[in-house]
Each structure stands twice: as C-alpha cells, then as structure tokens.
Amino acid sequence: MKCFYYYRFPLCKIGIAEEDGAICSVFFDGGRISDFFRKNGIGENETPLIKKAADQLGEYFDCKRKTFDLPLAPGGTAFQMTVWNALQMIPYGQTCSYGQLAAVIGNPKACRAVGMANNRNPISVIIPCHRVIGSDKSLTGYAGGLDLKEKLLMLERN
C-alpha cells in the first residue's frame, strides 16, 4: 500500500510517501505529486514510518541530524540508482559538481546523465541532490527552487 503525508518544516512544506515499508518519495509542496497520488487512489495517511522520516527530517532542519536511517525505495533505472547511491556518499555540509559525481560512479563523461538522474531523484533532502553544484560553484536547478537549495546548503554549513 502506498500513502503520503505532509509536514511543515522551518524552510518548507514537505510530503513524504511510503510504499511496502520503505520511503519512496520526499517532495516539496507544489501540489503536482499529491494530485497524482490522489488521482491514483493513494491516500493521505500518517504511518509510523512516515512519522519516523518526518522526525528525522525535523532533526535535520534543527541541525541535530547529519545522516538518515530509513529504508528507502526510490525506484529508478540501474544508472539512476547508482547516482542516487553516490549522492548519499556526499558528506553533510559539502558539495560536489556533476563532473565529480560522474567520476565517482566511474563514468567521468556522464556529467549530463548524472544531472538528469539528479533531477529525477524522488527522495529529496534524504538523498541529498541539493549538494550537487555546477563546476563553477554555481547553484544549478533544484526541485524546491534555487532559494531552497541555497538555504539547505547554508543550514549544513552552519
């Protein structure tokens, strides 16, 4: 069974979805995903796992948590899963470029493909795609917007 629930955090409102005992989506309130869920019969329900994820996100936003301990099931291609696993290796408070991430996964010429996989990350914040920046240190696209990306990076640097 798949379900989701929304929480208000200091920087934004976040939806958390669970399916079959694992977190499958963490998304920013934009209505698009929750509309999709509702149209497909996925209900809004706070499960113990969703609550645990929300508690850990709350600790993250309070600067009391640097890593997450949750079962994750992002659901993607083998390449996307490789990129998302590599994202989880970027230490709290640090950043890397798309090129650096491509090199980490053993495919240094795959910068654009890494960028596309980063863009499709369904579990924002917990799988920290916000830690990937341009090679010139500029902030690049983020599902929650560049303002939120900057705030998340600043939160981690403090």
pLDDT band at 131 (very low <50, low <70, confident <90, very high): very high
Residue 82 has pLDDT above 80, yes or no: yes
User: What is the set of active-site residues?
Assistant: 129
Distance of alpha carbon 127 from alpha carbon 122, whole angstroms: 8
Triad 13, 16, 18: Cα angle to 5°: 170
pLDDT band at 32 (very low <50, low <70, confident <90, very high): low
What is the pTM assigned to this prediction?
0.90
Helix (H) or strand (E) holding 25: strand 22-28
**Predicted local distance difference test score (pLDDT) of residue 11:** 87
Question: What is the distance in angstroms between the CA of the first residue and the CA of the last residue of the chain?
Answer: 39
Tokens of 136: 């010139």
The CA–CA distances, whole Å, from 74 to 18, 84, 89, 156 equal 10, 9, 16, 23
Residue 100 has pLDDT above 90, yes or no: yes
Q: What percent of the chain has pLDDT over 70?
A: 92
